[in-house]
Amino acid sequence: MRTGRQFVMGLLVLLLSSQGLAAKLTQLVVSANNSLVLEIDHNVDFRWFLLSHPNRLIVDIQDTQLQTSLQHIDFSSTPIATVRAGLQKSHALRLVFDLTRPQKPLVTSELAASGTKRIFINFSSTATVPVVTQTTVKNLKPIMSVTHQDRRNIVVVIDPGHGGKDPGATGRQGTHEKDVVLAISKYLAELLNNTPGYNAVLTRKGDYFIELRGRMKLARKDKADMFIAIHADAYINALARGSSVFAISAHGASSEAARWLAERENYSELGGVNLNQLNDKNNLLRSVLIDLSQNATITSSLQLGNAVLRALGQVNRLHHNKVEQAPFMVLKSPDIPSILVETGFLSNAIEEQNLRSPYYQQKIARALYQGVMDYFAQNLPEGTMLAQSAKPMRYIVTRGDTVASVAQHYRTTVAALRRVNNLRSDSLSFGQELLIPTGNNA
Ligand SMILES: [Zn+2]
**Banded pLDDT at 53 (limits 50, 70, 90):** confident
Lowest mean pLDDT among 27-41, 264-278, 326-340, 362-376: 264-278
The band of 144, judged by pLDDT with boundaries at 50, 70 and 90, is very low
Q: 262 CA distance to ligand 1 centroid (A)?
A: 29
Mind listing the pLDDT tens digit for each residue in 87-113?
A: 777 778 889 898 988 888 888 888 777
Q: Residue 305 has what pLDDT?
A: 96
Mean pLDDT for 22-41 is 85
Minimal CA–CA distance to 153: which of 216, 195, 190? 195
Nearest to 337 by CA among 272, 412, 253, 436: 253
What phi and psi, each to the nearest 5 degrees, are found at residue 156? -110, 115
Mean pLDDT of all residues in 392-414: 78
CA distance 69 to 198: 32
Q: How many angstroms separate the alpha carbon of residue 397 from the centre of ligand 1?
A: 58
Measured in Å, residue 161 CA sits from the centre of ligand 1 at 5
Q: Where are the alpha helices (DSSP H) in 319-429?
A: 349-356, 358-378, 385-389, 403-409, 414-421
Q: Which amino acid is at 386?
A: L
Give 158 Cα–ligand 1 centroid separation in angstroms: 14
273 Cα: distance to centroid of ligand 1 (angstroms): 34
The alpha carbon of 271 is separated from its chain's Cα centroid by a whole number of angstroms, namely 15
Distance 236 CA to ligand 1 centre (A): 14
Say if CB 318 and CB 309 are below 8 A apart.
yes
Query: Cα separation of 231 and 158, whole Å?
Result: 11
CA of 315 relative to ligand 1 center, distance in Å? 20
Q: Is 244 helix (H, G, I), strand (E, B) or coil?
A: strand
Mean pLDDT of all residues in 160-174: 94
Inform me whether the pLDDT recorded for 6 exceeds 60.
no
Question: pLDDT of 82-94, one tens digit each?
Answer: 888 887 777 788 8
CA atoms within 13 A on the CB side of 291: 7
- Compute, in angstroms, the gap from residue 360 CA to the centroid of ligand 1: 18
Residue 231 CA to ligand 1 center (angstroms) comes to: 4
What is the 234 CA–ligand 1 centroid distance (Å)? 8
Lowest mean pLDDT among 163-172, 188-197, 324-333: 324-333
Mean pLDDT, rounded, for 135-139: 33
Rounded to the nearest angstrom, the distance between the alpha carbon of 233 and the centre of ligand 1 is: 5
Q: For position 3, what pLDDT does the model report?
A: 40
The mean pLDDT value for 311-336 works out to 88
Residue 205: pLDDT band with limits 50, 70, 90: very high
**Residues composing the chain:** 442
- What's the CA-to-centroid distance between 171 and ligand 1, angstroms? 12
Ligand 1 geometric centre to CA of 407 (Å): 50
Instruction: Compute, in angstroms, the gap from residue 329 CA to the centroid of ligand 1.
Output: 12
Ligand 1 geometric centre to CA of 179 (Å) = 11
How far does the centroid of ligand 1 lie from the alpha carbon of residue 343, in Å? 10
Q: pLDDT over 90 for what percent of the chain?
A: 31
pTM of the model: 0.56
- Report pLDDT for 215: 93
Interval between CA 378 and ligand 1 midpoint (Å): 29
Rounded mean pLDDT, 281-288 = 69
Q: Ligand 1 centroid vs 299 CA: distance in angstroms? A: 24
Cβ–Cβ under 8 Å, residues 217 and 328: no
Low-confidence winner among 7-21, 47-61, 273-287, 336-350 (lowest mean pLDDT): 7-21
- Where residue 259 falls among pLDDT bands split at 50, 70, 90? low
pLDDT > 70: what percent of the chain?
80
Higher-confidence position of 363 and 329: 363
Using alpha carbons, select from 261, 248, 267, 257 the residue that is nearest to residue 329: 248
| Across 310-335, average pLDDT | 88
Q: How confident is the model at residue 142 (pLDDT cuts 50, 70, 90)?
A: very low
Give pLDDT, residue 182: 98
Burial of 50 (0-12, 13-18, 19+ CB in 10 A): middle
CA of 232 to the centre of ligand 1 (A): 6
**Ligand 1 centroid from CA 342, angstroms:** 8
Lowest-confidence segment of 44-58, 293-307, 400-414 by average pLDDT: 400-414
Q: What is the pLDDT of residue 146?
A: 32
**C-alpha 355 to ligand 1 mean position (Å):** 14
Least confident of 90-104, 139-153, 201-215, 408-422: 139-153
Cα separation, 434 vs 406, in Å, equals 9
Ligand 1 center from residue 405 Cα (angstroms): 55
Distance 304 CA to ligand 1 centre (A): 20
Q: Is the pLDDT of residue 231 over 50?
A: yes
- CA–centroid distance, 18 to ligand 1, in Å, is 80
pLDDT of residue 9: 43
229 CA to middle of ligand 1, Å?
Answer: 9
For residues 272 and 44, which has the higher predicted lDDT (pLDDT)?
44
CA–centroid distance, 162 to ligand 1, in Å, is 6
CA of residue 170 to ligand 1 center, whole Å:
10
Ligand 1 center–CA 398 separation, angstroms: 61
Residue 58 vs residue 254, higher pLDDT = 58
